[in-house]
Chain A
Amino acid sequence: MSISEAFINSILELDERRAIELARVRISEGEDPLKILEELKTAAEKIGEKYERGEFFIADLVMAGEIMKEISELVRPRLRELGKTRELIGRLVIGTVEGDIHDIGKNIVVTMAEAAGFEVIDLGVDVPPWKFVEAIKQYKPDIVGMSCLITIGIESMKKTVDAIKEAGLRDKVRIIIGGGRVDEYAKEYSGADAWTNDAATGVKKMMEWMREKR
């Protein structure tokens, strides 16, 4: 087994210690940090597949997310040292909508989207519509992601989309909503472009959008 395979496997086995150790070794041996990030992306995809197959569950995604986050925190400084930048596939502004504070799902999307090559601006939880609007003006993202777990959040999603429309920014971004209680109806009601109940499918959808855009 190559070190790359071992590295990816350790993430898939949620073996945090081993994954980090391997990343450290590789960095210290002067391996290209971009390659490690690329493998992180592969790992993220495989994790998504495991989730779809019913082998992984939310708890696993949280743990995998934490491991990937730590590894990317290890790799990024090295990347800067070398003056390299990773080619970004798109920019995502994301937040849990006003009135809701659940962020487990949102945080998983953040990690998986970063691994997939997105630049992610995370606005946190209980984000009011105006903050989304400001962030769109400031960061000019390709995609806006809104998350909520409680039913009330769907109303907030609608308000946020309305605020984005009002600011004349609706045609500048694609909007995806996610969370345990969103569905086709919530998408129609809120005026978003897509919906998802799980992070992996959501990230796939966003990558598809970016491919279309090119």
Chain B
Amino acid sequence: MVLVTIEPYGSRVEVCEGSTLLHAIRLAGLSITSLCGGFGSCGKCRVIVISGSSKLSELSQLEVKHLRDSEIRAGYRLSCQVRAFNDVTLYIPVESRVRVGERRAVTRGFMRKVEVKPLVKKIRVQLPPPSLRDQRSDLDRLIDSLKTVVEESKVEVDYEVLKNLPTILRGSNWDVASVLWGREIVSIEPGDAFSESYGVAIDVGTSKIVVHLIDLTTGEVRAVGLAENPQLAYGEDIVSRMTFANISEDNLRTLQLLLINSINELVESVCRQAGVSINRVYEIVVVGNTAMHHFLLGLKTKYLSASPFTPVVGRTISFKARDLGVKSSTGAIVTFLPVIAGFVGADAVADALATGILSREDNVVLLDVGTNTEIFVGNSERMLVCSAPSGPALEGAHIRHGMKAVDGAIEEVSISSDGEVEYRVIGDAKPRGICGSAIIDIVAELYRNNFIDSRGKFRRSYGLKRLRKSVNGWEYVIAWSNETSIGKDIVVSEKDISEVMLAKAAIYAGISVLLRRRGLSERDISEIIVAGSFGTHINPLSARIIGIIPDVPGDKVKFVGNTAIMGADMVLLSIDARSEAEKVARTIEYVELSADPYFSEEFSSALLIPHKDVEKFTLVKALLNQ
């Protein structure tokens, strides 16, 4: 065994000789940015070796590729590449750390009105005690009293409830509250607990988990919980994690347990916040992308991760929460909302549900921007959905100084006609990078000022003070080193702009393909609904200028926040929403972009700012001419 000391935390962890430093960091329970999950392809898991460098594996080709000579001399290594053969001390530099302040997350969103009519019903009944004249069994006695609510012959009872039944009936003097989930008795409690009925909604995102504690009698959100997805240590993106899970059953189990543990902590925390006993939680509704859905269920992702991307299960499934190991009342049910396709999951179903797009008569576009951007186009007559491969650039990956929207990220940028830059940083911190919303702003502002052309290339002739050529090509300085916390200038390069172009082109092309299939044009869109936390923070004008979304008047772009969790809330609260969720999954037509004959053409047309067909962007053009 070798001892690895990790600074600035002073953590010490023992690992087998030959283990990677990334493995040691994970084992110590510390987080480090590792977008690719340890394959040496993202170059973000940098550490500085303080001592013991002679007992490490030699620089790998990938390290040479990702690290500059000056950095190598300073002791920088990629933690996923370097193996320790003796004791070593390393330092995780600021730019590699994940948790510096809370991630800025959106934990609520828009939800259309629903009548509170949950599947979970709690009914208080006073039973006649048994006697020689009335020798009905305990269960029959209970079921008879529920006749008005549920047909006697159809009632089912949870086994654990049955075991406790005689004790509870007698202990409460035959005054009991029974909890029905549909026609199944999932809990039996003393009568005075009759008003306390709760459900938990969970949105398992690739990067964060959001939990709502819902009062099923009032419909109110009583508490909100938020945590980072603990699987981040196994890769930033879904594909890396699926690759890890595909290696062995143990790996899949590891990913599942990470989620379950984190969910349990969150459920306990929301119950504590609201002063509610966990035993009064009768149903848990889970949404999430298809990969998260499978991970939490412990289902193989092997066939999901490769074409033709077949999920193990698509329809709604419900079973005992205890079988999954999720904390709640003994007989509680966990319900997983349906998924539409490999890359259009239950989160997208929930988005559609909460926003009510399926009951719209006018044509709408709904998008949830992420590494894969789910896009819906259509109306109540016919709704199409696809998943556009937008990649992680808009979330800060593949961008030289890109980072997530956490403390220290530049989140908003404006550039004046003389080239000077103003920016706003998340949290009370000096900037250490740029997050997605700012990257979009920067490209839009550079274009607006005519500093870049429609191909995203700098016009070199302007002699701008912040424009320069470095070893990485042409770049624009957003923050000078003395303003930053990383001691380096924060820049945006032509390559970064090119990455943004690829991302935005994928999204726009996805929208175009669906419009075309639906026989519509951009002019037919009456509203663009942007869901997800990413959408909440982007400047809609910047998004239109660079052509992420069609050029519709600003008041037709609506930001709805986290509608995935709201869709889960709705299902807990309303039987109708529950059946609608199933309808959403069954009636929406999934379009596979990679099999669409027009996608690549639309994609390359969208690789210009704002688009090859500038006629599609007359509003933006008029605005820029002003």
Tell me, yes or no, whether A126 is within 8 Å of chain B by CB: yes
- Bitwise, B588-623 to A at CB < 8 A (1) or not (0) is 000000110000110110011000100000000000
Bound Cα distance from A55 to B494, whole angstroms = 8
Q: Which of B499, B594, B608 contacts A101 (CB 8 A)?
A: B594
- Bitwise, A56-96 to B at CB < 8 A (1) or not (0) is 01111011011000000000000000000000000000000
Q: Is the interface of B mostly helix, strand, loop or mixed?
A: helix
When C-beta atoms are compared, the residue in chain A nearest to B65 turns out to be A197
Give A60 Cβ to nearest chain B Cβ, in Å.
7
Given the known interface contacts A57-B494, A181-B41, the answer about A150 and B603 at a Cβ–Cβ threshold of 8 Å is no
A152 contacts B243, C-beta separation under 8 Å: yes
- Interface residues, chain A, with chain B CB atoms under 8 Å away: 14, 16, 54-55, 57-60, 62-63, 65-66, 98-104, 107, 125-126, 150-153, 180-181, 183-184
Given the known interface contacts A55-B473, A57-B495, A150-B239, the answer about A63 and B455 at a Cβ–Cβ threshold of 8 Å is yes
Total inter-chain residue pairs, C-beta < 8 Å: 70
Give B171 Cβ to nearest chain A Cβ, in Å.
57
Given the known interface contacts A54-B472, A103-B600, A181-B39, the answer about A59 and B456 at a Cβ–Cβ threshold of 8 Å is yes
CB-CB < 8 A to A103: which residues of B?
Answer: 594, 600
Q: A63-B607, A126-B308 are in contact. List 10 more A-B contacts (CB 8 A).
A: A57-B495, A59-B499, A63-B455, A66-B604, A99-B306, A101-B595, A102-B594, A150-B306, A183-B61, A184-B61
CB-CB < 8 A to A98: which residues of B?
Answer: 306-307
When C-beta atoms are compared, the residue in chain B nearest to A62 turns out to be B604
Bound Cα distance from A112 to B495, whole angstroms = 21
Bound Cα distance from A103 to B307, whole angstroms = 13
Given the known interface contacts A151-B243, A152-B246, the answer about A63 and B604 at a Cβ–Cβ threshold of 8 Å is yes
Tell me, yes or no, whether B435 is within 8 Å of chain A by CB: no
CB-CB < 8 A to A104: which residues of B?
Answer: 600, 603
B308 contacts A59, C-beta separation under 8 Å: no
A62 contacts B495, C-beta separation under 8 Å: no
When C-beta atoms are compared, the residue in chain B nearest to A53 turns out to be B473
When C-beta atoms are compared, the residue in chain B nearest to A54 turns out to be B473
- Interface residues, chain B, with chain A CB atoms under 8 Å away: 39, 41, 61, 239, 243, 246, 305-308, 389, 455-456, 472-473, 494-495, 498-499, 501-502, 505, 594-595, 600-601, 603-604, 607-608, 612
CB-CB < 8 A to B499: which residues of A?
Answer: 57, 59
Give A131 Cβ to nearest chain B Cβ, in Å.
13
Given the known interface contacts A54-B495, A103-B600, A126-B307, the answer about A59 and B607 at a Cβ–Cβ threshold of 8 Å is yes
CB-CB < 8 A to A183: which residues of B?
Answer: 61
CB-CB < 8 A to A100: which residues of B?
Answer: 306-307
Give B261 Cβ to nearest chain A Cβ, in Å.
27
When C-beta atoms are compared, the residue in chain B nearest to A69 turns out to be B604
CB-CB < 8 A to B600: which residues of A?
Answer: 103-104, 107
The 6 tightest CB contacts between A and B, nearest first, are A99-B306, A57-B498, A101-B594, A126-B307, A66-B604, A59-B498
CB-CB < 8 A to A152: which residues of B?
Answer: 243, 246, 305-306
Bound Cα distance from A65 to B605, whole angstroms = 12
Between A and B, 18 residue pairs with Cβ closer than 8 Å are: A16-B612, A54-B472, A55-B473, A57-B495, A57-B498, A58-B502, A59-B502, A59-B505, A62-B603, A98-B306, A98-B307, A101-B595, A102-B594, A103-B594, A103-B600, A107-B600, A151-B239, A181-B39
